Each structure stands twice: as structure tokens, then as C-alpha cells.
Amino acid sequence: MVDSGDEDIYKTTFKLYRNWTPESNLPLIDFTVEKNYENYFENITETWSKSSSSSIDTNFETFKHFKSIDQWKIYKLIKGLNGLFIITGILNENFRQNWFDYFHNQLPCLQNDLNLKSNIELSSLETMKKLRWITFGYHHDWNTKIYNLQQTTVCIPERIIDLCRMISMFMNFDFKPEAGIVNYYGRNSSLCFHTDHSELNHQAPLISLSLGRSAIFLIGGPNKQSTKPIIPILLNDSDLIIMSDESRLALHSVPKILPESISTVNDHQSIHRINVNIRQVF
């Protein structure tokens, strides 16, 4: 992987992966390929799902949307940062379209409940093309990076509450979903390196769910001077990242959305990937 010794390595790595093609021979951790991840991640599926599955309360509305816990595949980063976990393909195959459609079609229409503050009219396909993010819960302004803590209504979609409850029980932490940023990616969209530090609570993890087309996710150290490696990970539809401990404040970016077709996205759609980023603010 890429060692981040000098300051510009983040820019250079971002550019390299922005131009990634299957032929470019750049390292990329792909959990769907046997043994591909083993230098960086440990597969902790056996130990964790056995010890945790019995203690999880499965009596909630959207339980059937998720794979049963004994089918989860869980990976823990063992090089670089503490606290980074990935659960691959957490949604049941037959609910993936439902989740993509919910965040693509329904969430943008629930403006009042969900504190849409993206300042655009979402009534036509043309304007949908301009959509980059929507917030729910406490509104986070992507540009100023400040939360609106004066808000009196804080609505979190039911399915997000269920997902976070299940993950909290499984990971054995007490996570309260108080804010969410839904990021919308077109064919050529990317997201530069940044840290998520606007929350008052930096101990609570971030939970991040990928929907739709695959993307390259880069995660490095806490700042550009850090000597931690920058780790390139392929994220697929319904992969879930938990950024806790050291990884909670790590620099991360999405340089590339992959072009291949998957059933949840049709080729004429302007939005190819959706990321639901869930945070505890207090």
C-alpha cells in the first residue's frame, strides 16, 4: 500500500486512484477475492458472529432487510489504524434495490421531516443531477462543516435507527444516530480527502453504508504528515464501514466510482452510488 511519508502523498494517491482502471496495477483490497485482503485485514467473522449473534434482539421492523448475523462477513484492519471494521454486503440481496430507491426517490421528497437543506429543487430529473448531499437528523452544512444544534425536530429514518441498533448490539457499543449525511455520486463524482470532526463527540464511531455502484475508498492517517499507510479499499453495494477508535478521525476520500453495471442502478440514472454516513453528534 502507499506509505504517506511526505505531505503531497495524499494528493498523489488520490489522483492515481481517480484514474484507476482494472489494468492500472494499483493495489486494491477486494474482500470478494479470497486472500486478497490478508496483509491488511483479519477476517473476524467466525469469532465475532458466534459470540454476538445470540445476544442481538431481532424484534424490529426492518430485520428482514438484513442478512442474518451468522451470514455476516466481518473484517478488522490490522495494519495502520485501530478501530476500522468492514461488514460486507450487509443487506439481503432482495432489499438492496429497496434501500437504493429509498435514498434516491423517497428521502429527497421528505424535506420537512428530514431537514433537507441542500438548496435545490428536486422536482425534475435535471435538478436531481445536481444533488450532492441531503442531511437527516441534525443538519450538517458540508460547506461550513457546522451542525445546526438549534434544530427542534431531529428525524432519523426508521431503517437507520434499526440498522444502528443492530450494529451497536453486535459491536457492543452505545451508538446514537443523531445525524446523517447522504452523499450522492454521479458517474464521475469523487470526494476529496477530509476528516469528519464537526461532531462534539469524537469517541462515538461513524457508520457508513454504501449503496449502488462500487467505489474506491482511501483511508490514511489523522493528518497529511502522518506516516500511516493510505489503504485503498473496494467498497461494493451494501458494504458497511465502522470507523471507531483511531480510524474515527482518519483522513479518507472516494476518488473513483466504478463503471460496471449492477442491478440496483440503471445506466441512464444520474446517481450511480449513494453513501449514507451516520453520526452521533453529542
Ligand X SMILES: O=C(O)CCC(=O)C(=O)O
Total residues contacting ligand X (rule CB under 6 A)? 11
Which position among 2, 128, 164, 181 is part of the footprint of ligand X (CB under 6 A)?
Answer: 181
Rounded to 5°, the CA angle 209-213-214 comes to: 75
Q: Which is nearer to ligand X, 169 or 218 (CB)?
A: 218
Q: Which is nearer to ligand X, 172 or 192 (CB)?
A: 192
Which position among 88, 183, 236, 238 is part of the footprint of ligand X (CB under 6 A)?
Answer: 183
Count of CB atoms situated within 10 Å of the CB of 18 = 15
Residue 191 binds ligand X (CB under 6 A): yes
| C-beta pairs of 74-78 under 8 Å, 24+ apart in sequence | 74/43, 74/44, 74/45, 74/48, 74/49, 75/31, 75/37, 75/41, 75/42, 75/43, 75/44, 76/41, 76/42, 76/44, 77/40, 77/41, 77/231, 77/247, 78/40, 78/41, 78/42
Q: Which is nearer to ligand X, 277 or 280 (CB)?
A: 277
Which position among 77, 100, 137, 196 is part of the footprint of ligand X (CB under 6 A)?
Answer: 196
Q: Which is nearer to ligand X, 56 or 141 (CB)?
A: 141
Q: Shortest distance, CB of residue 277 to ligand X, whole angstroms?
A: 4
Fill in the per-residue mask, 251 to 280: x = in contact with ligand X (CB under 6 A), - = not in contact: -x-x--------------------x-x---
Closest CB to ligand X belongs to which residue? 275
Q: Which is nearer to ligand X, 69 or 179 (CB)?
A: 179
The 252-257 sheet, strands edge to edge: 2-3, 229-235, 215-219, 252-257, 191-194
Q: Shortest distance, CB of residue 123 to ligand X, whole angstroms?
A: 25
Buried b / exposed e over 191-220, threshold 16 CB at 10 Å, is: bebeebebbeeeebbbbbbbbbbbbbbbbb
Q: Shortest distance, CB of residue 177 to ligand X, whole angstroms?
A: 14
According to CB under 6 A, which residues from 42 to 71 bind ligand X?
Answer: none
Residue 75 contacts residue 86 (beta carbons within 8 Å): yes
According to CB under 6 A, which residues from 69 to 108 bind ligand X?
Answer: none
Residue 236 binds ligand X (CB under 6 A): no
Q: Which is nearer to ligand X, 252 or 256 (CB)?
A: 252
Q: Shortest distance, CB of residue 241 to ligand X, whole angstroms?
A: 7
Supply the DSSP string of 120-154, one letter for each residue.
---SSHHHHTT--EEEEES-EETTTTEE-TT-S--
Residue 160 contacts residue 181 (beta carbons within 8 Å): no
Q: Shortest distance, CB of residue 176 to ligand X, whole angstroms?
A: 18
What cell was used for 123? 422536482
Q: Shortest distance, CB of residue 55 to ligand X, whole angstroms?
A: 29
C-alpha 137/C-alpha 154 separation (Å) is 4
Which position among 217, 219, 257, 271 is part of the footprint of ligand X (CB under 6 A)?
Answer: 217
Footprint of ligand X (CB under 6 A): 181, 183, 191, 196, 208, 210, 217, 252, 254, 275, 277
